[in-house]
């Protein structure tokens, strides 16, 4: 097999599900031109007409939930009940924008010295989405739906290991709107993606991926001065004070860490536990881990999934070994079988350890202890990332103080981070910039045009 082939492999049984030679730059340019042609008519549809298409996408997602969720689980290993929930969440987001976009995109009237001044929101053109494999439908839908309903068209560069999901998404949008190429999937190599951006084939790019992907894409997109939005991962703090129901919170910590087998940008990754309850927290966490056993993701009784590829399991294993070589310990003995890695925690990781601020993308967390409130804040902020965080305390005044001080795009109080269609999502620092979802996400890829009458 040529190394240039695009391929997806079932991480549970190593079955090759898909392989194909990548598109050439010429073929890619032709597909983008189809989207540019379609944008001329799409942007002149009324918001109500575009919203009807979005509603249809939601209906198709619900109608084909079983087939699409099985595709997710086969292609990247997600537990089937999580895949079903992912499709349902996508449909909910479609409902939100179908019902609210018309009002959210209305002109904003400004109070000025002029007789009238408004901000009008108009589409930019063709927007590229560079999307990851961990939520192969949700990541795309949450990017694509607001971009489309605001009048743009889309080309998708999905992660190669979920190419079947990428093609299924294209078919979904084509069926919802058969009158033009408003959404096309590009099966291309990463280096060709950068050429597409550098040479100005598209009018904007939204990236969800690694920090390094963001840097590479940003350099290429900057050459053509196009609009960019980045969500580049996180190292979320989960801060626990001594006044909580510790059993409830520790179980929530396990659940947050193991969402999607820990392969989630906003799952808890760094647990910060007040010293007086540190040992008890670890006891409960360790006890909870006993329930998890490896299994086929398509079986409903399975409760821990493989990582999305064996290569990702290799990378996480290497990080754990590196941490251990620099003094860290694991809560339980490290255990791996193929692409499966048993859930665990890293203990005694100080700032001299090279993995101290690494994003652990898998079922492994990191735990620290603190005494004072400001110590917890300093621990949380001692990271190059700033995506999300959660604070657990019965003292709401203290919770608000901590939430205000944490440098991140969002903070959740007495709940673990989770996304919602109505709430803007994104980060700061090396977690990126710009927002998805809510009105902010709807307006990201629009020209905010001022129209003034004297």
| Residues with catalytic roles | 231, 265
Per the CB < 8 A criterion, the answer to whether 268 and 391 are in contact is no
Half-sphere CA count of 373, side-chain side, radius 13 A: 15
Per the CB < 8 A criterion, the answer to whether 182 and 175 are in contact is no
Instruction: Name the 3-class secondary structure at 104.
Output: helix
* Burial 96-108, CB ≥16 within 10 A → b, else e: bbbebbeebbeee
Per the CB < 8 A criterion, the answer to whether 369 and 278 are in contact is yes
Per the CB < 8 A criterion, the answer to whether 147 and 206 are in contact is yes
Structure tokens at 267: 């799952």
20: Cβ–Cβ under 8 A, 6 or more apart, which residues? 5, 6, 163, 187
41: Cβ–Cβ under 8 A, 6 or more apart, which residues? 179, 180
Per the CB < 8 A criterion, the answer to whether 110 and 12 are in contact is no
Half-sphere CA count of 226, side-chain side, radius 13 A: 28
Positive/negative CA dihedral, 56, 92, 37, 124: positive
């Amino acid at each position: 097999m040529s190394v240039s082939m695009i391929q997806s492999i079932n991480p549970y049984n190593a079955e090759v599900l898909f392989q194909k030679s990548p598109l050439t730059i010429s073929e890619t340019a032709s597909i983008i031109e189809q989207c540019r042609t379609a944008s001329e008519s799409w942007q002149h549809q009324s918001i109500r007409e575009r919203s009807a298409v979005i509603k249809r996408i939601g209906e198709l997602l619900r109608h084909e939930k079983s087939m699409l969720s099985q595709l997710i689980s086969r292609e990247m290993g997600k537990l089937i009940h999580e895949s079903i929930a992912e499709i349902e969440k996508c449909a909910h987001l479609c409902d939100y924008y179908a019902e609210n976009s018309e009002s959210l995109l209305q002109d904003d009237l400004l109070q000025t010295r002029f007789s009238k001044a408004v901000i009008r929101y108009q589409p930019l053109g063709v927007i590229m989405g560079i999307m990851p494999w961990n939520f192969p439908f949700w990541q795309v839908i949450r990017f694509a739906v607001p971009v489309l309903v605001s009048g743009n068209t889309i080309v998708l560069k999905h992660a190669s290991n979920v190419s079947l999901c990428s093609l299924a998404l294209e078919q979904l949008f084509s069926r919802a709107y058969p009158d033009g190429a408003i959404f096309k999937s590009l099966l291309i190599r990463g280096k060709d993606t950068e050429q597409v951006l550098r040479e100005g084939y598209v009018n904007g790019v939204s990236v969800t991926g690694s920090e390094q992907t963001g840097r590479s894409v940003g350099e290429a997109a900057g050459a053509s001065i196009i609009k960019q939005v980045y969500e580049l991962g996180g190292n979320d703090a989960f801060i626990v004070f001594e006044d909580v129901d510790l059993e409830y919170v520790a179980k929530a910590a396990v659940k947050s860490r193991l969402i999607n087998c820990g392969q989630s940008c906003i799952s808890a990754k760094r647990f910060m536990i007040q010293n007086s309850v540190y040992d008890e927290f670890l006891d409960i966490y360790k006890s909870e881990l006993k329930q998890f056993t490896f299994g086929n993701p398509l079986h409903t009784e399975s409760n821990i999934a493989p990582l999305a590829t064996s290569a990702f399991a290799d990378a996480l294993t290497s990080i754990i070994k590196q941490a251990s070589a620099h003094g860290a310990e694991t809560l339980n003995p490290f255990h791996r079988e193929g692409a499966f890695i048993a859930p665990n925690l890293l203990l005694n990781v100080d700032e001299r350890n090279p993995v101290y601020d690494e994003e652990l993308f898998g079922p492994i967390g990191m735990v620290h202890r603190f005494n004072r409130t400001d110590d917890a804040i300093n621990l949380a902020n001692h990271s190059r990332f700033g995506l999300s965080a959660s604070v657990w305390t019965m003292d709401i005044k203290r919770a608000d103080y901590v939430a205000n001080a944490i440098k991140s795009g969002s903070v959740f109080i007495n709940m673990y981070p989770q996304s919602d269609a109505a709430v803007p999502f994104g980060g700061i620092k090396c977690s990126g910039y710009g927002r998805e979802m809510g009105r902010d996400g709807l307006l990201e890829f629009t020209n905010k045009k001022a129209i003034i009458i004297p």
